[in-house]
Structure 1
Amino acid sequence: IAEESGWLPKWGYGTVETNIMTGDPVTPFLTNAYQQGLLKGYEERAYRVLKKNADGVPPAASPAVGREGNKEYLANGFVPYLKGRPHAKPGDSDYDHGASATLEYALSDAMLAQMARDLGHRQDAERYAARSRNYRTVFDSSTGFFRARDASGAFTGPADPAQSEGFHEGTSWQYQWLVPQDLPGMVGLIGGTRAANDRLDSFFAYDQLLADPAKTAREVWVNGPYDYYNADKYNPQNEPDL
């Protein structure tokens, strides 16, 4: 797709780029395929288009939206949450979900850094690894949670993480764990191992879960397809084995 259109898709549907969802889902998808050996013989070709996606923004003439918030992300370390900003292209916009987009970009940078390192692109690997720590730019120490920032850099939206804005299909409670590339750093921001464990217990309603697992899953956890907003509990959607 990238070699024909010039850019990687965000959510391709057949031959159409829908630009549905936000963040940078194509980078984890392709880097994971690389790690499993599924890109054998195409590693450098895949890396070139992933690098272009990670470092740029598709032009207005392209149907792809790509990393729409890259200009601000590369300059300031975060994608701003610009509520009500008109969409430049059909589909979703990273500016509607600046906080979660920042976390996703940072995770994608971490995965691309690993691929770059494996392929011998050492300078790229160091640059992407440094960017993978940008998750810290949206951490509000006054609340102890990730929080959206506006164009000026100020934290914006309700301080209550269960009411947070700027997160796609979730709240700061759900997105606080989206730092698999630096778990010690994430735990440190939360306040240490004990604080992180206490927060996990609250997130899963652990005491209630032990007392009545079925009732907790039905009535306490997020249980409706669009009930993830205004919530501070675990969302088991798309996990039928649970």
Structure 2
Amino acid sequence: MTSYAERRSQLTTYFDRTAVDAWARLTTDAPVSKIRATVRAGRDAMRANLLSWLPDDLTGTRILDAGCGTGALSVEAARRGAEVVAIDVSPTLVGLARERSAELLGGHRIDFRVGDMLDPWLGRFDHVVAMDSLIHYSAGDIVRALAELGLRTDGSVVFTVAPRTALLTVMHAAGRLFPRGDRAPAIVPITESGLRRRIGAEPALAGFAMKRTQRVNSGFYLSNAIELTRTTPRSQAGEKVRAP
């Protein structure tokens, strides 16, 4: 099974080289195919859903956009007053995000970075948002990532996974038939019940509760949003405080 580090490396290559032009087009209003139009609509709906789970007024809060892509979610959070750290493994996508956000932020700013969303030196956050950045990982790696993020989060972690459906399972299998150089990193379908069990068994997430879920189904875009909300202070949950 592909490790977290190996999959992260694949994602860097894919989004920074193979798919950067297609991704840049998908995240604008430029004409796209009917299939990609459904993906665009689905992503827009999911982004709006995740943002609706955050407070309307984010003044004084620190937000991590974990896997920021071209920065649309980061811009909206910054407009609400948040101090946003936006990180992605792709230098090219982060460059696009910086370029696009410059005209949209007004007096706000975003701290864009290239790197690993699990880097402990990013510091502490009130909320973490990971939209479609964990969908390429196994359930075990997802929970380990959530545990690392949870150690540095005082409010909520909202994220998406690919729900295990018959269609996604077939698409996942069919993707392996493409030549290796043409493959996108596989999306790993996850069952919500299995993920709940794993989260419940992870000591570092003992201070969190799964508050709500929401599925978005738009043609070729299918994703399941989940909100983990801190219910117990870190000291009572027995979590270790990590740097910084």
Please identify which structure carries the higher strand content: 2
Asked if these proteins are the same fold (TM beyond 0.5), I'd say: no
With a CA cutoff of 8 Å and minimum separation of 6, indicate the structure with the bigger relative contact order: 2
Task: Sort the TM-score into its range (normalised by shorter chain).
Answer: under 0.3
TM-score (norm 1): 0.27
The structure in which a higher percent of residues are helix is: 1
Larger-Rg structure: 1
